[in-house]
């Protein structure tokens, strides 16, 4: 299988190797599946071995190639070993999707040091560590696509109870723009995708009344899907996006327009 169509966009990533963090569920799983269906070999990274196995099985069942890599994204040694293992196995690394992220929501007067540090370490430090490790093989090849999954909470708006999460995503967008300038001459693009409210386990736990209120504020009058976020990632991973770098694409149904 060499092509995938997501949201009407066809991409051929045959011969490329992709690494997706947080690939065990939600948006990360959809991104990993889309990249695998497009022909890329996919390194699926997360902490949950069983959930990772499900993602890998789904990719291989669709005719793709994938392997699971357990990793603590906050550990420099673990991240370096994963990237080295991927390059050793498949000879290259062309696409990095920094998707791993967590929330520890509470209002700022009640937010603990641990809640702040845990979110910043996973969402921002983890993306930094993988970006740093991935630039080696990308610079060697003089080609690469780095795509960071941010959020409208860090790009366009605040969200009460998410000071730690919003700060981590705003920091990720700032890192995206800076690293894009550093790597552009080597044909490595660095972009971000900022989803709004997407149908995932996290939003599903909010309850119907809260979701109804959220939908009323979205011009599209619905939540987005993980596949729609994956479609934006596929575009940025494609050759068609070769002149786009340092940008942040919002996928939110017009909520922050």
Q: What confidence score (pLDDT) does residue 226 get?
A: 96
Q: What confidence score (pLDDT) does residue 247 get?
A: 98
Q: What confidence score (pLDDT) does residue 1 get?
A: 41
Model pLDDT for residues 11-51, shown as the tens digit of each residue: 999 999 999 999 999 999 999 999 999 999 999 999 999 99
Residues in the chain with pLDDT values less than 70: 1-9, 202, 204-205
The one catalytic residue in 69, 130, 165, 197 is 165
Q: What confidence score (pLDDT) does residue 9 get?
A: 64
Q: Classify residue 72: in a domain, yes or no.
A: yes
* Whether the model pTM is above 0.85: yes
What CATH number should be reported for the domain holding residue 88? 3.40.50.720
Rounded Cα–Cα distance for residues 98 and 9 (Å): 21
Tokens matching residue 245: 């770098």
Q: Classify residue 195: in a domain, yes or no.
A: yes
Q: What confidence score (pLDDT) does residue 257 get?
A: 86
In three state form, how does the secondary structure of the chain look? CCCEEECCEEECCCCCEEEEECCCCHHHHHHHHHHHHCCCEEEEEECCHHHHHHHHHHHHHCCCEEEEEECCCCCHHHHHHHHHHHHHHHCCCCEEEECCCCCCCCCHHHCCHHHHHHHHHHHHHHHHHHHHHHHHHHHHHCCEEEEEECCHHHHCCCCCCCHHHHHHHHHHHHHHHHHHHHHHHHCEEEEEEEECCECCHHHHCCCHHHHHHHHHCCCCCCCECHHHHHHHHHHHHCHHHCCCCCCEEEECCCCCC
Q: Classify residue 2: in a domain, yes or no.
A: no
Q: Which domain holds residue 77?
A: 7-251
Q: What confidence score (pLDDT) does residue 46 get?
A: 96
Q: What confidence score (pLDDT) does residue 110 get?
A: 97
Q: Classify residue 256: in a domain, yes or no.
A: no
| Count of structural domains within the chain | 1
Q: Classify residue 196: in a domain, yes or no.
A: yes
Beta carbons within 10 angstroms of residue 49's beta carbon:
10
Q: Classify residue 61: in a domain, yes or no.
A: yes
Q: Give catalytic status of residue 165 as yes or no.
A: yes
Q: Classify residue 26: in a domain, yes or no.
A: yes
Q: Classify residue 197: in a domain, yes or no.
A: yes
């Amino acid at each position: 299988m060499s092509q995938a169509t997501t949201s009407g966009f066809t991409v051929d990533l045959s011969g490329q190797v992709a690494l997706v963090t947080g690939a065990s569920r939600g948006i990360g799983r959809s991104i990993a599946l889309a990249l695998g269906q497009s022909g890329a070999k996919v390194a699926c990274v997360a902490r949950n071995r069983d959930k990772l196995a499900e993602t890998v099985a789904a990719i291989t069942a669709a005719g793709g190639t994938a392997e699971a890599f357990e990793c603590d994204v906050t550990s420099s040694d673990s991240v370096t070993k994963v990237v080295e293992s991927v390059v050793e196995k498949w000879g290259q690394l062309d696409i990095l999707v920094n998707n791993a992220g967590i929330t520890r929501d509470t209002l700022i007067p009640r937010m603990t040091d641990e809640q702040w540090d845990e979110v910043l370490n996973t969402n921002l430090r983890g993306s930094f560590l993988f970006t740093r490790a991935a630039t080696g093989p990308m610079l060697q090849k003089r080609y690469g696509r780095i795509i960071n999954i941010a959020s409208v909470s860090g790009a366009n708006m605040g969200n009460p109870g998410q000071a730690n999460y919003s700060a981590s995503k705003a920091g990720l967008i700032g890192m995206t723009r800076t690293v894009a300038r550093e790597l552009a001459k080597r044909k490595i693009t660095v972009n971000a995708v900022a989803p709004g409210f997407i149908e995932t386990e996290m939003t599903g736990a909010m309850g119907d009344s809260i979701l109804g209120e959220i939908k009323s504020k979205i011009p599209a009058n619905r939540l987005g899907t993980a596949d729609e976020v994956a479609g934006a990632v596929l575009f940025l991973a494609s050759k068609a996006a070769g002149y786009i770098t340092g940008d942040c694409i919002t996928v939110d149904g017009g909520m922050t327009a």
